[in-house]
């Protein structure tokens, strides 16, 4: 017997209503999503695997218990995360597809990111190679730059908040400490993790926002390449002194060009610190830089994926014009809008996987060609010696 419980959107105005009940499979269903097994647990509730009924695509459903949030005083933190994530659509930022609110819980329907934390990945490997570190760093800077262009500063960037998807691509997560920047206004809140915090942040000085995120990115790059932190100490006051001094050790084996980039990103004076433009222009950063990370035009809201529109229209038996109209109205809670974003996200991940496979294929072919040339060259040399 189904549980008939009406749900409202996060603002509680009842404009987007859904029904919580039981699906044909016996699983709990909320809106157009089937809730399946638990894949994680947080301070406020469980994270479940879910499936969108119409498209069949898997998602992560983060269940936030209202009572626990009030008890821990994190209602504002959660509201910030929801508000800011709804403004962002980027291949290297976790996608928020839908927010469903009930009297007891808030359900966040998000992109399923199954590869674990970057922190765990670095810990397992000890440190990452230059090529792999650069690829991740390029994706991180692309996502962070996108946030800043949309006036959002993350303020808690660290490997624990950088997830890896099934194709080993970065997904920036946990926007709980993020803030919306207003022109002319400075921020003052000291937040984030001490080891990744910028000097001005721990000194309780006013700051704009982007400069503290880029400091954290510099620490992350150092951590990926070396498997250690540039500033570390068990005694927090001593740790803060080290950060404020800006003095850190560059291991002799560290790539020189990468070390140069880290140095200009970890400048104590935020005015002297490298900004996104300087990072993108850096020689080390530009190597093998994918075009899609920093496109000339970033007005994604004006770009409609025709294939995705056609697929949604077919699955919902509606006209393509109906889907397009919903997208142009920017009604992110409409069922057609949710289905469209799921289609685009699935397609993008598949394209990245396909491109990665192509790159590996051509790289293997190139190596085989070089290997054959070396073999032929060796044979010629042996033949010359025999002739002598």
61 Cβ contact partners less than 8 Å away, ≥ 6 residues apart: 30, 33, 35, 47, 48, 49, 50, 107, 108, 109, 110
Identify the structural domains of the chain with CATH numbers, from first to last. 5-111 (3.30.200.20), 118-293 (1.10.510.10), 306-387 (1.10.8.10)
Q: Is 29 annotated as a binding residue?
A: no
Active-site position among 105, 156, 174, 213 = 156
| pTM given for the model | 0.76
CA 334 – CA 47 distance, rounded (Å):
23
pLDDT exceeds 80 at position 156: yes
Q: Is position 232 annotated as part of the catalytic site?
A: no
CA 67 – CA 82 distance, rounded (Å):
18
How do residues 31-81 score in pLDDT, each as one tens digit? 889 999 888 877 667 889 999 988 888 999 998 888 888 877 778 788 888
Mean pLDDT, the chain, integer: 81
202-238 b/e with 16+ CB inside 10 Å = b?
A: beeeebebbbbbbbbbbbbbbbbbbeebbbeeeeeee
What percent of the chain clears pLDDT 90, i.e. is strictly above it? 41
pLDDT at 21: 65
For residue 170, name the pLDDT band (cuts at 50, 70, 90). very high
Q: Report phi then psi at 6, rounded to 5.
A: -80, 145
Give the bridge partners for 35, in sequence order.
Answer: 28, 50
pLDDT at 323: 82
For residue 354, name the pLDDT band (cuts at 50, 70, 90). low
- DSSP secondary structure string, 143-205? HHHHHHHTTEE----SGGGEEE-TTS-EEE---TT-EE--TT--B----S-GGG--HHHHTT-
Segment 235-242 shows an average pLDDT of 94
Give the number of other Cβ atoms within 10 Å of residue 357's Cβ: 11
pLDDT at 385: 39
pLDDT exceeds 90 at position 281: yes
CA 118 – CA 225 distance, rounded (Å):
13
């Amino acid at each position: 017997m189904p549980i008939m419980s009406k749900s409202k959107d996060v603002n509680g105005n009842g404009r987007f209503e859904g029904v919580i009940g039981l699906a044909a499979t016996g699983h709990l269903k909320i809106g157009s999503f089937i809730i399946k097994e638990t894949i994680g647990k947080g301070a406020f509730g469980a994270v479940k695997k879910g499936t969108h009924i119409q498209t069949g695509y898997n998602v992560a459903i983060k269940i936030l218990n209202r009572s626990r949030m009030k008890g821990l005083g994190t209602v504002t933190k959660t509201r910030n995360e929801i508000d800011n994530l709804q403004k962002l659509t980027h291949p290297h930022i976790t996608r928020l597809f839908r927010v469903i609110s009930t009297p007891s819980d808030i359900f966040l329907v998000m992109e399923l990111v199954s590869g674990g934390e970057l922190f765990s990945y670095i810990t397992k490997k000890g440190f990452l190679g230059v090529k792999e570190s650069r690829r991740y760093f390029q994706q991180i800077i692309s996502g962070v730059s996108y946030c800043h262009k949309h006036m959002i500063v993350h303020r808690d960037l660290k490997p624990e908040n950088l997830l890896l998807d099934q194709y080993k691509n970065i997904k920036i997560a946990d926007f709980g400490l993020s803030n919306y920047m207003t022109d002319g206004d400075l921020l003052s809140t000291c937040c984030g993790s001490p080891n990744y915090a910028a000097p001005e942040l721990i000194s309780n000085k006013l700051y704009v926002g982007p400069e503290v995120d880029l400091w954290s990115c510099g620490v992350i790059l150092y951590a990926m390449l070396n498997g250690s932190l540039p500033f570390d100490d068990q005694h927090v006051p001593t740790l803060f002194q080290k950060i404020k001094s800006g003095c850190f050790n560059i291991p002799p084996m560290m790539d020189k060009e990468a070390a140069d980039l880290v140095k200009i990103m970890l400048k104590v004076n935020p005015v002297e610190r490298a900004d996104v433009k300087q990072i993108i222009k850096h020689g080390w950063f530009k190597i093998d830089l994918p075009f899609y990370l920093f496109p000339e035009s970033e007005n994604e809201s004006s770009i409609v994926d025709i294939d995705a529109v056609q697929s949604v229209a077919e699955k919902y038996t509606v006209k393509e014009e109906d889907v397009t109209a919903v997208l142009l109205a920017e009604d992110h809670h409409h069922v057609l809008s949710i289905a469209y974003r799921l289609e685009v996200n699935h397609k993008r991940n598949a394209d990245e996987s396909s491109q990665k496979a192509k790159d590996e294929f051509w790289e293997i072919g190139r190596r085989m060609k070089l290997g054959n040339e070396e073999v032929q060259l060796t044979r010629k040399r042996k033949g010359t010696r025999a002739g002598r």
